[in-house]
Amino acid sequence: MPVLTKCATASDVDKALQKSLRYLACGGPAGVDAPLATLAPRTRLMSMVTVLVIVKPPHSSAFGLSSANELFDTWFRFLVKQAFETVPQGEKDYVWYKFNIFTCWNLNTNRSIILVFDLRPAIKGRLPSPLLDSIEMGDMIDPYWIHAIFADELVRLQDEAVWGIRNLVRKIEVNRTTSTAPNPNYPALHDIARHAIHISETLDTGVKTIEMMMSEHDQFLADRENADRNSKKTGKRIQKRISFHHLMLSSLRSRSLSTKERLLNEIQLAYNVVAQYDSQISVEIGRAAHADSAAMKTIAFLTLTFFPATFISAIFSMSFFNYNPESDEWTVSKEFWIYWVVAIPITCITALMWSSWHKLFPMKQIGDGVLQPRGEHMAKHNMQSMAVKLRAKFKDSNVGSRV
């Protein structure tokens, strides 16, 4: 299928192309010829667009839309997000695909003009082939043949997106480890959860768009109840195709929701495993502290047992006491009172300093630095709110009394 790198006139297109499907690529509004320029006010062309023109063999050499013809215009948009398992360093691990499509179908000539915006190279490379290779000439008597083709492409991309995120979740499930110290990558888990949420969201909007598309197609068929048998048969066939794509998207949405639930389950499991591991560490710390406490109790018991005897021994070993073996007599110095004058005040001063230290510099409880300012802020906010309510109530009472 030939591609014209520059928009040509209708006669040039008819001379260059002898097939029933014609593809025309334009760099922007400046390159649009006169027939397409008539669509510019309605489509609000951006600076860079890709224009796909599909026509039946023209009955004349003229290409365009006359004012006497009946036109059927549609505009629909799809979004698809795909996440990747591995990406090169510094690149994003996801990509967004956009389908922003305007269609114009001529009732009398069955010609279709498709304007496709914001296509990525991966999708643009599929236009016109192989995306439009499945077109049948009989389908072109219904304007929604275009929608059926792009819905099929949407299902393909969404299927890759859903199974791509499923592979990421499955990788997390397979590589789950609980035998060693758990160290889950929480940022990566939440990034995957974000991708799963976006994919479910695009599937929800895609299903709604397809449902609206089916509703509009039903209305189109109802308005053409006097059409010939071939047109009705084609309309039903296209409606079944769109309905099939709707069913596929609905199934993919269910699959996406289950994948998201699996991912949330893995995130919750990661939190629980870490909490359980920390709990086990806390138990081990408690056991170690209990062992230390038992050792300290033993030391304290030994100290308490030998302290009285040690204290008495220390007193009697002072120079205030003297034992004379020859006379077998004990003598106590008359200056023994000096010991008590010095020891008792120092003991009292030490106990007083210890007590005063804890009163002057109390130990802060964990979280006081955060909870206390928060409580003061809440109390201040509550007082301000109460004051505002009282002023409003007082003002209303004054107004009522004046009335």
| Residue 38: Cβ-neighbour burial (10 angstroms; 0-12, 13-18, 19+) | middle
Predicted local confidence at residue 129, as pLDDT: 72
pLDDT over 60 (residue 351): yes
pLDDT over 90 (residue 330): no
State the Cα–Cα distance between residues 106 and 70, nearest whole angstrom. Answer: 6
- 316 or 24, greater pLDDT: 316
State the Cα–Cα distance between residues 210 and 225, nearest whole angstrom. Answer: 22
CA 39 to chain CA centroid, nearest Å = 39
Q: Buried b / exposed e across 117-137, counting CB within 10 Å, b at 16+?
A: bbbeeebeeebbeebbeebee
Average of per-residue pLDDT across 236-257: 94
Lowest mean pLDDT among 21-25, 111-115, 357-361: 21-25
CB 80 within 8 A of CB 107: no
Which pair of tokens denotes residue 78?
């799809």
Average of per-residue pLDDT across 371-398: 57
Predicted local confidence at residue 207, as pLDDT: 95
Question: Percent of the chain beyond pLDDT 70?
Answer: 72
Q: Which distant-in-sequence residues (6+ apart) come within 8 Å of 216 by Cβ? A: 74
378 — pLDDT class (breaks 50, 70, 90) = low
Task: List, in sequence order, every beta strand (DSSP E) within 21-93.
Answer: 23-24, 50-54, 71-83
pLDDT over 60 (residue 26): no
Predicted local confidence at residue 394, as pLDDT: 56
Question: Residue 179 gets which letter from DSSP?
Answer: S
Hey, where are the domains in the chain? Answer: 7-30+55-278
State the DSSP string of 365-391: PTTHHHHHHHHHHHHHHHHHHHHHHHH
* DSSP H or E segment with residue 153: helix 145-174
CB 75 within 8 A of CB 101: yes
What are phi and psi for residue 145, nearest 5 degrees?
-65, -30
- 36 or 52, greater pLDDT: 52
Predicted local confidence at residue 192, as pLDDT: 92
Beta bridge partners of 76: 101
Predicted local confidence at residue 37, as pLDDT: 38
pLDDT over 90 (residue 313): no
What are phi and psi for residue 348, nearest 5 degrees?
-65, -40
State the Cα–Cα distance between residues 198 and 80, nearest whole angstrom. Answer: 9
State the Cα–Cα distance between residues 280 and 206, nearest whole angstrom. Answer: 47
Report the amino acid identity of residue 371: L
